Chains A and B, each alone.
Chain A
């Protein structure tokens, strides 16, 4: 039996699960699309993870979750550590490259820049209100041009002379692209132009005024895009490192954090076990709480008939109602 730690990163676009061993080596990774249903994604991901390592025989000693669905996945799996994406990405990158100073992370809806000094996050920024320049926008443009997103970067990399595309706003970038396309510019040059526009947008909006120092690590699903990698290198004028498992770095970070916590404090994991997640019937529902004028949309998640969690209420009335029950339950036992 091998001891290992589970890291889960549920993002808007992809759900990633990884197993790492005591030495932080990756044993197995699963990358799948969330497709708007994080509960299903976690269950499916976990099932295929268990299946692929079933021969080796592993025990899960700890669980860490991150990403925008981190609370949801922690309810489903029972997490020891629930961490925001910034910390998770920084931990994973700093583990692989101890001297890293800047992390560029571009995911489905979010793009971030993280500055590290001596392996500690020193400053960070995230895109605020505009999702132009993130994975979702690239996805959309690829399907509009009828190019497989996997080939998007390769096609861009073929370009010799990028076309100038307006990158200020996703909508205008799109109309600029259509205009250039109708003028007859080659597809490769337009795609590469888009990549450069996105990089400029990223540096202006996310990296606003921050000094980017090397070594620079580029991670997140979008790091697969060779065109964007090239555009970053060109604009920044320095080499960019892309880790081998760039697409699951958040999950790796969550796994490392879980491992550190378990090993330091020598506690048992909160992990609920494989049967809990694989054999239950999970349902989510929401209702508007009429308790006060905030009228919060309260989400409830159930396994069979048992309520696992509430959230979404600003006053925490629903959230804490459950805590009381569980603590009373513990006292009885």
Chain B
């Protein structure tokens, strides 16, 4: 990759991307051993067990929801959406970091992405799975969800293509499919490595099937790299499109607080913000638990913190513009939205959101904070909470007081909304636990590539 040479060697300024002690063999050993070592660590069992318990909570909540109806939630008229769509947007947002890291950073030749892209992509996939549950579950009649699909029905009725929910359906569907493909394609060489190193016969067969006959031939590699780049190109617009379209759910509505033209970029920035926060939330404990500090270095953490800070500033600009426009519009409804956020019955959520998303993350300007895994971990949690609150404020707090004061009402989440939310977190974590046990959580072949490149650079 000759173009790479034009980049100034990043490692010269700050810490290395990979611990220089690693070599081809030790990278492969280190990563594949997490998967292939027989016997499972007690900590994994505990973590997985707890997460799986939450999956049961989720299934229970879904069963109750289907049996009794959407009325088990606290929704009403005017608040027709609250936890359901808030969680949907939150999960979709979290997914964004994966695609951003794998696709855009790949195209931009940000080689530090290599150590984190695999589990970031996995995280994307799992977050999208959690997100996809909500559009189905929030329906009053979930058994008729297929009315949203343009299938050739005998009654000749199509979905209503003017509805942002249909755009959403396609956007999220595409996103999920491409993310899955991208992730799987990225896994193929590593699956072959696992196949070759597996000592358990069944594991060898399963990994073999999944590796789809990968033989490491030069021809394979040539085609593979092309395909991977193409997929990255395909996935790139999705980073922007998905959350843009999700934001249309609101921007295309006329509810004060929803009908805002700044929403698409603001939502995308918010998604990246929360996505990177989630990557940090996961990466920091993982690297500690599996001793991966050499592969996911402080450089990585520092870079991610910077992306987060940038995204956070864009988000802050979004908040500022919302406030400015509500005043500048001279529209009583828009003005009231802002007043209601600041002073209304849900003011705590708005103030908490400002503190979580704007004020506290300013600590990231400090290099000391950026280089402290613990500080970053706590910050990432705070940002995750803040971004959840942001969606809640936009969705529920805007709805609860709209045009006519006579229909203003309050919304209180019920047990079943909390349990479903916590349940989906359990689903997310369970899938993640399975992933780190069964698949290489860091891309072996890309890290090895990176070693070559690093060595190349140093030799210059």
Are A and B part of the same complex?
no
- Identify the A interface with B (CB < 8 A): none
Using CB atoms and an 8 Å cutoff, list the residues of chain B in contact with chain A: none
